[in-house]
Structure 1
Amino acid sequence: MALTSDVTFLLLDDFSHIAFSCALEPLRIANLLEGSDLYRWRLASPGGQQAVCSNRSVTLVDQGLEPLPARSSLFIVSGQNIGERVTPQILSFIRRERARGTRIGAICSGAFVLAKAGLLDGRRAAIHWSFHDSFGETFPNVDLCKNVFVADEPFVTASGGTAASDLMLHLIGERHGADLAAAVADMMVYSGVRPPEASQQISVQARHGIRNPHIAEAIRLMNESAPFYLPSSEIARKIGISTRQLERLFQKHLRVSPKKFAIHQKLERARNLLLQTEQSISEISLACGYDSPSHFIRIYQKRFGVTPNNHRLC
């Protein structure tokens, strides 16, 4: 009989409820299908009493930041406002558990906590796509990837939402076999289990309802050159069409010019940095390819109807 695996979920306030449920339920179902306790779990929070998730539901927990049982696994589950939730006590707890041999992972924005603890430098990690801009600016030494999860590193990470189930099914398969993992997925009515290398976001074609390969390639080139986007003429040259044809394709399928599309992309990045980091307006302006903060402020206000400072205060 397989030994029971001890798993602790450290819940930080504003954690993602869907990510937590998608991480925990595969373990419960694995126990149900196997008829034995393959997994035993406990919940922890910094205060040791409860944790409040982003939808304001309250979850009671079993413990605070006390030592975990030997040979445990620890998963940090967080969500919004992660920069405000990371305390010296949490970082000390994670480092102590690492020194004790605890296997540590992170879900949703949890990779931010591991990076803050200095555990991800030079390693691949996944985090929810909405945190990519701020994470990349804050932790440039981490090899941030767009995968749904990363399981082939000392610290496993999942990007959030249903990606937590993908990671757990992967780990169940590693420990107890692919048949049990598939049976758990069936019980969850989860027929689209994704491999680690799957992308977090749906394709440009699916999102905008387009199938034109020229637009998809143009947007890929734009994203690769961010925040200093290539001019339309250069993009057109690289994909083998005329600048005028590129302009027509963008107007037909996306209702904007390539230049305006690039500006919108830059401003979305700026908004993420504004709401998820403590960087100054000047720093954000520069990180998004604007040499003049005053010009950046005017463009931002025109796009979102509010100045960057007032947006941050909302």
Structure 2
Amino acid sequence: MTATQHFVFALVEDFTHLALACATEPLRIANLISNKPLYRWSYASLDGLTARSSDNCQIKVHNSFCDMPDCDRLFILSGIGMQFKDHTVLLTALRRKDRLSRVCIGALCSGSWILARGGFLNGQNAAIHWEFHDSFMEEFPEVNLVRSVFVAESKYPTASGGTATADLMLHLIAQDHGRDLSISVADQMVYNAVREATAAQKVSLQSRSGVRDTNLSAAVTFMSQRLDQPLSPSMIARELGISTRQLERLFGKYLNTSPKKYYMEMRLERARNLLVQTEKSVTEVAMACGFDSAGYFSRVYRTAYGVTPTMQRSQLS
């Protein structure tokens, strides 16, 4: 792909500034490294004049939601309080774009909520910042919410916000112009722990669910303290003095997953961190994360991340 791609960012009042920087900086650096105008971008807001971020910065914009130009990708970016705003103008503009042009519409941070409210995400996989998971599942049961940091292989790509936005942009750069350029951009950003779409969001249970259910918080604590010698769900339930079925219900209600799957994700996340941040052998990493066999560990890791542990490490060199 050689033609310049135009990204439009529809900025909803109180948008997250960090997510905007993580969206535009990879594009800027890709242009700089390649010495080519691979990307350009512009901003739109409700009034067509400015947009205010949640840290009270005023951004001058190029267009209003009503007159957003033709573009290749259009991302909605919002932040706190978007549930209580009137998005009629923006959703009308998005539906028109979706119907009349070939633009790829997506969302960053809490922008997925707005896409879901407009019905765009029905039947689709979608990511959103973990803070909104519980309310999102209640409000939009027809959307397949995932715990991944971003979803790229969907008609409407979404990223969960913050640095996950950079992960998505690096993924798109790799798609458009090759993995070597994407790696060079990440290196320039001093970002050496780039995550794939399948990486799960790291969630603070105390801030998200622990305050709602002490048994769930205790279960996750048990898991985190025994990553090298994992316990079965029945053993965890016994430690907590509850039934295995009750434990399953807690994980389903608050985390939209099972104890066994959540435990495996925790162990694999730790394995990935050890692979990219230490010089431990694959066998040592496997043992440190509770896998009896390096071969089994490699198969599970590849299923989760699309690469073997050895390939994961070689990507860093």
8 Å CA contact 1:217, 1:239 repeated in 2:
no
Cα separation, partners in 2 of 1:83 and 1:215, compared to 1, 3 Å: closer
Are 1:239 and 2:234 matched, yes or no?
yes
1:11 partner amino acid = L
1:52 partner amino acid = R
Deviation track 1:12-69 (CA, whole Å, cap 9, x = no partner) reads 0111110111011000000111111100110110110111111111111111024444
- Larger C-alpha radius of gyration, 1 or 2? 1
Tell me the equivalent position of 2:162.
161
Tell me the equivalent position of 2:83.
83
Question: 1:193 Cα shift?
Answer: 0.1
Gaps of 5+ in 2: 211-217, 225-230, 255-317
Tell me the equivalent position of 1:276.
none
Tell me the equivalent position of 2:61.
61
8 Å CA contact 2:222, 2:236 repeated in 1:
no
Question: 1:70 Cα shift?
Answer: 3.6
Tell me the equivalent position of 1:108.
109
Corresponding residue SS for 2:30: helix
Tell me the equivalent position of 1:49.
49
1:65 partner amino acid = F
Aligned residues: 230
User: TM-score of the superposition, structure 2-length normalised?
Assistant: 0.66
For residues 195 and 86 of structure 1, the distance between their equivalents in structure 2, rounded to whole angstroms, comes to: 33
Deviation track 1:207-259 (CA, whole Å, cap 9, x = no partner) reads x9xxxxx9449779xxxxxxxxxxxxxxx99423784x446xxxxxxxxxx99
Tell me the equivalent position of 1:34.
34
Are 1:21 and 2:13 matched, yes or no?
no
Deviation track 1:98-134 (CA, whole Å, cap 9, x = no partner) reads 1122111100000111111111101000000001111
Which stretch has the larger CA shift, 4-13 or 69-78? 69-78
Tell me the equivalent position of 2:190.
189
Cα separation, partners in 2 of 1:218 and 1:93, compared to 1, 3 Å: same
1:64 partner amino acid = S
Question: 1:200 Cα shift?
Answer: 1.0
Tell me the equivalent position of 2:96.
96
Question: 1:196 Cα shift?
Answer: 0.3
Alignment of 1:155-304 (within 5 A): 155-201=156-202, 215-216=219-220, 238-240=233-235, 243=238, 245-246=239-240
Q: Structure 1 segments of 4 or more deviating over 6 A?
A: 217-220
Corresponding residue SS for 1:240: helix
For residues 8 and 176 of structure 1, the distance between their equivalents in structure 2, rounded to whole angstroms, comes to: 19
Tell me the equivalent position of 1:6.
6
Gaps of 5+ in 1: 209-213, 221-235, 248-257, 267-314
User: TM-score of the superposition, structure 1-length normalised?
Assistant: 0.67
Tell me the equivalent position of 2:136.
135
